[in-house]
Amino acid sequence: MILYIDACVRRESRTERLARALLQEFDDEIREVRLEEIPFDVSDEAFLERRDRLIEAGAFDHDMFSLARQFAAADMIVIAAPYWDLSFPASLKQYMEKVTVNGLTFEYTPEGIPRGLCRAEKLYYIMTAGGDYIPEEFGFGYIKALAEGYYGIRDVRLIKAAGLDIVGADPDQILDQCIRDQIRGPEGKEPGLSGADASGAEQAPASDRACRIYDRFRARASRDDEYKDWTEYRSELTDFIISNTKPGASLLILGAGKCNDLDLRKLAEHAGSMTLSDYRPETAEEAFRGYGLTPSAHLGFRAADYVGITDRDYMEYTDLLLSIMQKLAGTPARSLEAAAGPELDRLGQTLEEIYGRNADYRIDLGGAVYDYAVVAGVHSQLNNAFRGIFQYVRKDVEDSGDRVRFAEELNKYIFEITRKHTVDLVDRFNAAVFAAAGKGVIYGYEENIIYTPEGARGPVIGTVDGARQAGEAIADRPVETYISCLWPLSRRRGIKYEMTICFLKQN
């Protein structure tokens, strides 16, 4: 069942015109909810008390929750809402409050992290705007955050037509083009724009095998020995943070993960409030649980994507890389170019297109300004996913009994393309970090990597992509204090980082 939520107001709604075109693309049953026909209750204290009593009693069959039950049961959701005053009509906000019900559309884990309960895997958000100034964080961004963070709907797509009322514009032509490009599009392309994919570029669906490889990459976990191996580094980093931040201050910890490199309990006792930020909420759950902490108004989590490259982009890359490695596994050619020249060109073109679609991505840290931000060992991960996926694809192919020839040359080829974009990713990330910190930033990066390659007689010292650019990015900033310390990333693999941790005071 497709649930169509119509927040349009005008009789000849341009937004609804796009919505009807989208709905025609599907054969499923459609249930329509016209928000202008719903007499929403006033959310006063009496209403909230009655609602809380029903939720506490588990009385979800009450009429008050009929919209939430319908929302939770839908197989797909389509929302049509015009762009009004940086957002959408008030009726849609009232509706979202109605369907956001703890126990029906989402639930809280024991650690206080929301977990989705909705059946739908996909949500389309359709909007039109008279002008071209349409920052999306208050409209589409709000719906996307609710869908992903609360309802568990991971595939959230935007269909939009803008500039309809600009002098000289042809609204009908703009709407027709939107229908052609974003709704109907090329054969095999799903409607809508996903995440940072705002260019409407065609992307073929990835193979099942590539999807499984990418899923394993995304689900990769930290090693059980990290907490023990990082004891000394964790102590040095935590003590440096405490010595350079005021007691009772608010902290934003970016790239928190499981916090194996930070003593969360010690920091929680020092800070007035602390927010963990990471891409995956489940890592925050593990962090809180590992330190015996309970989320509260003073200890929370905010999901954030620091890069903006979508899962679809990564899966497209994984699929293409898998086809190249399968070809290399059986090639008699004497060079990488001879074995897969055209495929390499396509791989390079695909990577450049992915970065191009990502160029205007804006990192959303919630808009709040904390006293201090903490970022240590994160810059090196911003542009590392493509190379990480490379290792997973290679392992999958070679585990099936095939040796991937020219694997190192292919890895170098990918690195040379991706590294050109590292500075942009670092600069964009730093801009968001420093904007979120009112008093200062604890800023840590890998000065050097020390490792012993297979077959080498001794250790090698090198630089780390992303970390090197992180150091260069603050060359003109005054450093209040700093320390150098050793981060034993993996004792088993013999990899260590020489870390520089510094305090950058904000004006």
For residue range 402-431, list pLDDT tens digits in order: 889 999 999 999 999 999 999 999 999 999
Q: What is the pLDDT of residue 196?
A: 39
Residue of 289, 269, 374, 364 lying closest to 112 (CA atoms): 289
Q: Specify if 148 maps to a domain.
A: yes
Q: What is the pLDDT of residue 413?
A: 95
Q: Specify if 330 maps to a domain.
A: no
316 within 8 A of 355, measured Cβ to Cβ: no
CB-count exposure of residue 36 (10 Å: 0-12, 13-18, 19+): exposed
Q: What is the pLDDT of residue 137?
A: 65
The whole-chain average pLDDT of the chain stands at 87
Give the pLDDT band of residue 204 (cuts 50, 70, 90).
Answer: very low
Residue 167 pLDDT exceeds 70: yes
Q: What is the pLDDT of residues 428-446, one digit of tens each?
A: 999 999 999 999 999 999 9
**β-sheet bridge partners, residue 499:** 446, 485
- What mean pLDDT comes out for the span 47-56? 90
Judged by average pLDDT, the poorest of 89-98, 136-145, 169-178, 225-234 is 136-145
Q: What is the pLDDT of residue 93?
A: 93
Report which of residues 435 and 493 the model is more confident about. Answer: 435
Range of the domain at 90: 2-194
Name 88's Cβ contacts closer than 8 Å, sequence gap at least 6.
Answer: 7, 81, 82, 127, 139
What are the strands, taking DSSP E only, across 317-467?
A: 370-376, 437-451, 460-462
Q: Specify if 7 maps to a domain.
A: yes
Tokens read off for 457: 């007689």
Q: Specify if 467 maps to a domain.
A: no
Residue 114 pLDDT exceeds 70: yes
Report which of residues 209 and 221 the model is more confident about. Answer: 209
* Spatial distance between the Cα atoms of 341 and 347, rounded to a whole number of angstroms: 10
CB-count exposure of residue 475 (10 Å: 0-12, 13-18, 19+): exposed
Residue 142 pLDDT exceeds 80: yes
Sign of CA dihedral 188, 192, 198, 200: positive
For residue 254, the one-letter residue type is L
- What mean pLDDT comes out for the span 132-150? 81
DSSP code of residue 180: I
* Spatial distance between the Cα atoms of 467 and 28, rounded to a whole number of angstroms: 50
Q: What's the CATH code of the domain at 140? A: 3.40.50.360
Report how many domains make up the chain. Answer: 1
Q: Specify if 497 maps to a domain.
A: no
Q: DSSP secondary structure string, 17-65? A: HHHHHHHTT--S-EEEEEGGG--PPP--HHHHHHHHHHHHHT-TTSGGG
Tokens read off for 113: 């992290």
Q: What is the pLDDT of residue 362?
A: 87
Q: Specify if 392 maps to a domain.
A: no
Q: Specify if 98 maps to a domain.
A: yes
R_g of the chain, CA atoms, integer Å: 25
Start-to-end CA span in the chain (Å): 54
DSSP code of residue 184: I
Residue pointed to by tokens 């319908």: 70
Q: What is the pLDDT of residues 221-261, one digit of tens each?
A: 556 578 889 999 999 999 999 999 999 999 999 999 889 99
Give the pLDDT band of residue 472 (cuts 50, 70, 90).
Answer: very high
Q: What is the pLDDT of residues 327-371, one digit of tens each?
A: 998 788 899 999 999 999 999 999 999 999 888 888 988 888 999
Q: Specify if 97 maps to a domain.
A: yes
The percentage of the chain sitting over the pLDDT mark of 90, rounded to a whole number, equals 52
Residue 465 φ/ψ region, left for φ over 0, alpha for ψ in the -120 to 50 degree band, beta for the rest = beta
